[in-house]
Amino acid sequence: MRQARPTALASLLALALCASCAAGLREPSALLSAEESAWLEAHRDELAYAPDPAYAPFEFTDASDGRTKGLAYDYFALVEKKLGIRFRRLRAPSFARILEMAEAGEVSAVNAATATPERSEYLLFTRPFIEVKNVIVTRKSARGVRGAADLAGLRVSMVEGYAVTEYLSERLGDIDRVLASSDLQALLDVAYGVSDAAVLDLATASYLVESEGISNISVSGEVDYPIRLSIGSRKDMPELNSILSKGIAAISPREHVEIVRKWINLENEAALDRREVALALAVGGLGLLAVACLAVAWNVQLKRQIAVRTAHLDEALAYKEALLHELFHRTRNNMQVIISMIDLRVGIMDDTEARRSLGELQGRIRTMAMVEQRMYESNDLSSLDLGRFVIEVVQLLIQLKSVKPDAIRFELDVQALPLVFDLAVPFGLVLYELVDNALTYAFPAGRTGVVRVGLRRLETGSVELVVADDGVGPPPGMDLRNSPCLGMQVAVSLVESQLGGTIEFSGEGGLRCAVRFDDSGYGPRV
């Protein structure tokens, strides 16, 4: 588990400890009044909540096992335990969608939320259990961005539905907002030059920069609007707000510290009382003395067995690592040889159409090589971050096609989704063909325009990829499923035969391609 940086987050303990002192030691049975207990019993079936899938380290879906984790999630689970209740878990693709579900009454509680005037129209909030400042993140080469006022005239990525997004939108009308579906997308927007800056909380920024290895961005300033995370509940259920508030108040100072320390590595921890340590050592020492002699003899024999087995395991592991390393490099080198041979052939050809076809083939091979690279870099050899992969494929096409930013602009709205490597290659090739088709046919004769790429997980659990442009669109009556274009034929075939999904086309005001497929049947291999 990766933890947020200590220097950035040590101050969180102060608010966490203040959140409950007087009421924190009461028995669970004494928390609720008779009326509240009766209300709970009558409304248990209505208790539902959708965790935020991408708000690390507060609340997020762990790509390695698919479970919800995080500091705020631990608070919510502890409140459930204190109150003796269990909320039904629903799935939502983004925090913006969670707020829509809350407003529509589809969920009864929203975790890790900051109270705002807009949200207060349909939610009641407990008192905050964590407070952390919002910061401005820019590329390291950027200068002069220290506060919110410096964002004027810049493209700024902010997560849709967040309180700070609402706050800045109301107070700064002269910024060009780029609404992101997650904090990771906002940071990647900055890293890849889609936007000039991103605004998010320091805890999440620190966590993602470290865990994702984003090296070309840094915190350049602060926004005078900290987040204060609470639990929100439906406004038409005031009893639930009172119940949840009592659950928060029942968390003891010790429990607050344990939750915060689980996710935040503090440099200066309080020392234990020396008298308690001495007493514990004295009592424990008597027991240890009684078994010490037997333990010594047993440990000697055990260490010998462990040493032999460890040596065998180390040898086997070293062999497998060497084999994996060799296989990866052979695959990469073979692909590079093929790319180089195509380069040589393209350099001596006069046929423009043949040169173009070979160039497209190169792009497909590079996309496949990109998957192999991500697999080699992964910790579990099971899945890759699909959102980041989409951005990298788009960047590859921008480079191969020599796209000028003032001619064709890209707008990316992608979620950080895990995808097993079994599907990564066909998905990457489908994405490559659809974006390449837009760049090749949508903007003839120097026409300018926008290509939009969207990636999200639907409420049904399926993955949806959308590639759309505002170009000239296909000829009237053209059947794109049976297009004479090889790239479109490849895309349709891969979606249906490899991804087991569907692809839909619509052609008003350009071309929109929507791919949907279900990846739930694929699980981690190791």
What CATH number is attached to the domain comprising 502? 3.30.565.10
Residue 217 sits in the same domain as residue 234: no
pLDDT for the residue 60: 92
pLDDT over 60 (residue 120): yes
C-beta separation of 207 from 183 below 8 A: no
pLDDT over 90 (residue 418): no
Residue 270 lies in a domain: no
Q: Distance between CA atoms of 281 and 87, rounded to whole angstroms?
A: 43
Instruction: Show the tokens assigned to 59.
Output: 């609340």
Q: Which amino acid is at 366?
A: R
Residue 247 sits in the same domain as residue 388: no
CA angle 282, 286, 292 (to 5 degrees): 125
pLDDT for the residue 278: 43
pLDDT for the residue 269: 31
What lies within 8 Å, CB to CB, of 399 at 6+ separation is none
Question: Whose CA is closest to 232, among 335, 161, 289?
Answer: 161
| pLDDT tens-digit map of 359-398 | 677 667 777 666 666 665 655 556 778 888 899 888 888 8
The domain total for the chain is 3
Residue 150 sits in the same domain as residue 216: yes
Residue 146 sits in the same domain as residue 79: no
C-beta separation of 498 from 477 below 8 A: no
- pLDDT-wise least confident of 22-26, 129-133, 486-490: 22-26
In which domain, by residue range, is 181 found? 136-225
pLDDT for the residue 144: 87
- pLDDT-wise least confident of 170-179, 409-418, 435-444: 170-179
What lies within 8 Å, CB to CB, of 150 at 6+ separation is 136, 144, 221
Tokens 């997004």 sit on residue: 165
Q: How confident is the model at residue 69 (pLDDT cuts 50, 70, 90)?
A: very high
pLDDT for the residue 114: 92
Task: Give percent above pLDDT 70 in the chain.
Answer: 73
* Mean pLDDT for the chain overall: 80
DSSP string, 235-294: TT-HHHHHHHHHHHHTS-HHHHHHHHHHHB--SSPPPPPHHHHHHHHHHHHHHHHHHHHH
Residue 184 sits in the same domain as residue 71: no
pLDDT over 90 (residue 172): no
pLDDT for the residue 284: 42
Residue 87 sits in the same domain as residue 198: no
Question: Whose CA is closest to 393, among 421, 424, 353, 420?
Answer: 424
Residue 389 sits in the same domain as residue 511: yes
Residue 485 sits in the same domain as residue 406: yes
Strand order in the sheet with 54-55: 54-55, 59-61, 68-69
| pLDDT tens-digit map of 311-334 | 766 666 565 555 555 555 555 555
Residue 460 sits in the same domain as residue 501: yes
C-beta separation of 253 from 17 below 8 A: yes
Q: Distance between CA atoms of 134 and 142, rounded to whole angstroms?
A: 19
Q: Would you say the C-alpha torsion 137, 139, 141, 144 has a positive or negative sign?
A: negative
DSSP string, 461-489: S-EEEEEEE-SS-PPTT--GGG-S-HHHH
End-to-end CA distance of the chain: give it in Å, rounded. 18
Which domain CATH number covers 49? Answer: 3.40.190.10
Question: Whose CA is closest to 191, among 142, 133, 153?
Answer: 142
Among 200, 225, 250, the domain-final residue is 225
- pLDDT-wise least confident of 160-174, 377-391, 476-490: 377-391
C-beta separation of 250 from 28 below 8 A: yes
Residue 467 lies in a domain: yes
Task: Give percent above pLDDT 90 in the chain.
Answer: 39
Residue 387 DSSP SS3: helix
Count CB-CB contacts under 10 A for residue 506. Answer: 13
pLDDT over 60 (residue 280): no
Residue 119 sits in the same domain as residue 162: no
Residue 304 lies in a domain: no
Residue 275 lies in a domain: no
| pLDDT tens-digit map of 191-250 | 988 899 999 998 888 888 888 888 899 999 999 999 899 999 999 999 999 999 999 999
Among 175, 201, 225, the domain-final residue is 225
pLDDT for the residue 424: 83
Residue 391 sits in the same domain as residue 460: yes
pLDDT for the residue 332: 57
- What angle, rounded to 10 degrees, do the helices at 253-263 and 71-83 form? 150
Q: Distance between CA atoms of 395 and 191, rounded to whole angstroms?
A: 12
Q: Distance between CA atoms of 200 and 187, rounded to whole angstroms?
A: 9
pLDDT for the residue 335: 58
pLDDT for the residue 281: 37
Residue 406 sits in the same domain as residue 506: yes
Q: Indicate whether this model's pTM tops 0.75.
A: no
pLDDT for the residue 370: 67
Among 263, 288, 309, the domain-final residue is 263
In this structure, the strands spanning 68-69 and 383-385 are: unpaired
pLDDT over 70 (residue 349): no
Instruction: Show the tokens assigned to 241.
Output: 């707000």
Instruction: Show the tokens assigned to 363.
Output: 């792009």
